[in-house]
Amino acid sequence: MTPQRSAVAPIPAVPRPGRAPHVPSWAPVEESLADEELAHGLAAGDEECLEAAYHRWSSLVHTLAWRSLGDTREAEDVTQQVFLGVWRGRGAFRPERGTMGGWIVGITKRKIADALSARTRRMAVVASAGSSLALSDPAVQQPDTAALDRVLVLHELAKLPAAQQQVLRLAFYEDLTQPQIAERTGWPLGTVKSHARRGLHRLRQCLQQEGFA
The contact set with another protein (CB under 8 A) reads: 1-5, 7-8, 10-11, 13-14, 16, 19-20, 22-26, 44-48, 50-51, 54, 58-63, 66-67, 75-76, 79-80, 83-84, 87, 146-147, 149-155, 157, 168, 171-173, 175, 177-178, 193-194, 196-197, 200-201, 203-204, 207-208
Task: Provide, rounded to whole angstroms, the least separation between the CB of residue 25 and another protein.
Answer: 4
The Cα 169–Cα 200 span in angstroms is 11
Torsion angle (degrees, nearest 10) of CA 90, 91, 96, 99: 0
* 116 in Cβ contact with 69 (< 8 Å): yes
Nearer to another protein, 58 or 166 (CB): 58
* 158 in Cβ contact with 165 (< 8 Å): yes
The Cα 149–Cα 38 span in angstroms is 25
Nearer to another protein, 134 or 154 (CB): 154
The Cα 120–Cα 135 span in angstroms is 8
Nearer to another protein, 47 or 137 (CB): 47
Nearer to another protein, 19 or 129 (CB): 19
Task: Provide, rounded to whole angstroms, the least separation between the CB of residue 137 and another protein.
Answer: 21
Task: Provide, rounded to whole angstroms, the least separation between the CB of residue 24 and another protein.
Answer: 5
The Cα 108–Cα 103 span in angstroms is 9
